[in-house]
Amino acid sequence: MYLSELPTVHIAGGGLAGSECAYQLARRGIDVQLYEMRPNVQTDVHKTGYLAELVCSNSLKSTSIDNASGVLKEEMRILDSLILKVADETRVPAGTALAVDRERFARKITEILENNKHIQLIRKEVTTVDDGIWVIATGPLTSASLSETIKKLTGAEHLYFFDAVSPIIYAESIDMGKVMKGNRYQEGEGDYLNCLMNEEEYTHFWEELINAECVPIKAFETDLLFERCKPIEEIAKTGKDAMRFGPLRPTGLIDPHTGKMPYAAVQLRAENKAKTMYNMVGFQTRLKWGEQRRVFRLIPGLESASFARYGVMHRNTFINSPRCLDRFLRSRAAPNVWFAGQITGVEGYVESAATGLYVALNLINVLEGKEPYPLPDETMMGSLVRYITTPNVSFQPMYANFGILPPVSVKNKWKRRHLLATRAIEHMRKWKEEYLKR
């Protein structure tokens, strides 16, 4: 089929994901209509009319491959990411972090896309999608009318408007000698790890928790938060025993050292099949990250806890991707509609752009009548996509981290990470050589 015969791709949202996706399609000769509602319709956090505006920090995190975000960036460079190319060009000094001059960064991306003959930039809010090819990349602040359309596509119960994420801890950093494996009332296979507390440990933890520093609530978030579930520190503030009758209830557990029910218990649930990460059950929180590290390490067994992701509660529109999308980020209910960016349940500037890139590569194959080629699980990008499309009892957004990669058995943490990183990059190079012909 000649390129000119391929259908036009419509992309809703010119943020990090939509811009990357549009660029990758256009550079392969595919016509794109890119819809961005700003500056005509603004969101609560964007300030300009530029595409790919960074709404908060100007940092795209670390470039070191000892860091999971650095590995993801390296993989994206292999795939010629626009976002990273422009970030490198507009970089400002910030050690190993890739920080950018936000104005130059967004302006440059806007100019590149505006001047691409295959891209038609349309400044308009998308409210519905037709039966053409669509990529929805409207981000955490998707407009209300499009959210209604998405709800019809996914089912209302599969579209969420805020994150209430509990921290996730690397299994290797949990003191397995201190925690007790088992479910309440010894039912089932013993999926949980239980951190048992006596009264003294509980009281100390409670006192530190109620006095810990939280992230301030932004004005546009006040109505949304606390609607469905309360942060752990808010539960704690209602009274000393409140947590013991809530997420820290000890019922159904027996402390093997005393033969009695413990005073309180924190439960950890495996976050992935390989059990490399554990989720702190019921610990959604607005504590600052440093405070989470300090206070949650007071829990017996978590003294050296290393966090794969910290808890957050903030405004965020995202879909239940494990239920709604296939592994290529295509809607199961409407295969002409694809999703990219934060709305798929990835979190972060780079992660959002990465899914935009991934969707573009998959779309090209589909438009040419081929099946897309899944990315190897060993790559950070492949693992991130696998994570957000794999059934999960409490699906919550995820950023790049080493815990999502298939594990290797090397004891030393830094050697292990280095091995995981080099393996990921090697697999991405091979994948590109084998499958990415243009």
Ligand X SMILES: Cc1cc2nc3c(=O)[nH]c(=O)nc-3n(C[C@H](O)[C@H](O)[C@H](O)COP(=O)(O)OP(=O)(O)OC[C@H]3O[C@@H](n4cnc5c(N)ncnc54)[C@H](O)[C@@H]3O)c2cc1C
- Is 163 near ligand X (CB under 6 A)? no
* 138/292 with CB nearer ligand X: 138
Task: Write out the H or E segment, with its range, that includes residue 383.
Answer: helix 380-389
- Is 69 near ligand X (CB under 6 A)? no
Is the distance from CB of 363 to CB of 338 less than 8 angstroms? yes
- Interface segment toward ligand X; rule CB under 6 A; list 30-38, 79-87, 281-289, 291-299: 30-38
- Is 401 near ligand X (CB under 6 A)? no
Task: Write out the H or E segment, with its range, that includes residue 317.
Answer: strand 312-319
> Please, what is the minimum distance in Å from the beta carbon of residue 301 to ligand X?
31
- Is 37 near ligand X (CB under 6 A)? yes
The residue number whose beta carbon is nearest to ligand X equals 15
- Is 146 near ligand X (CB under 6 A)? yes
* 224/281 with CB nearer ligand X: 224
The DSSP code sequence of 323-364 is HHB-TTSBBSS-TTEEE-SGGGTB-SHHHHHHHHHHHHHHHH
- Is 55 near ligand X (CB under 6 A)? yes
Q: Which residues 201-260 are close enough to bind ligand X by CB under 6 A?
A: none
Question: Residue 432: CB partners within 8 Å, gap ≥ 6?
Answer: 78, 79
> Please, what is the minimum distance in Å from the beta carbon of residue 346 to ligand X?
8
Which position has the token pair 């934060």?
342
Q: Which of 10, 11, 32, 46 binds ligand X (CB under 6 A)?
A: 46
> Please, what is the minimum distance in Å from the beta carbon of residue 20 to ligand X?
8
Is the distance from CB of 334 to CB of 153 less than 8 angstroms? yes
- Is 13 near ligand X (CB under 6 A)? yes
Nearest to 341 by CA among 26, 15, 75: 15
CA distance 291 to 287: 6
Per DSSP, the three-state class of 110 is helix
Q: Which residues 307-346 are close enough to bind ligand X by CB under 6 A?
A: 315, 341-343
- Interface segment toward ligand X; rule CB under 6 A; list 52-60, 103-111, 251-259, 318-326: 52-60
* 65/126 with CB nearer ligand X: 126
- Is 24 near ligand X (CB under 6 A)? no
- Is 36 near ligand X (CB under 6 A)? yes
CA distance 52 to 56: 12
Per DSSP, the three-state class of 320 is coil
What b/e string do you get for 259-286 counting C-beta neighbours within 10 Å, with b at 16 or more? eeebbbbbbbbebbeeebbbbbbbbbbb
Q: In what order do the strands lie in the sheet with 91-92?
A: 59-62, 97-100, 91-92
Task: Write out the H or E segment, with its range, that includes residue 86.
Answer: helix 82-89
Q: Which two tokens stand for residue 58?
A: 């100007």
Interface size with ligand X, residues (CB under 6 A): 35
- Is 70 near ligand X (CB under 6 A)? no
* 140/231 with CB nearer ligand X: 140
Q: Which of 8, 40, 57, 251 binds ligand X (CB under 6 A)?
A: 57
Provide the binding-site residues for ligand X, judged by CB under 6 A: 12-18, 35-38, 43, 45-46, 55-57, 125-126, 137-143, 146, 315, 341-343, 347-349, 352
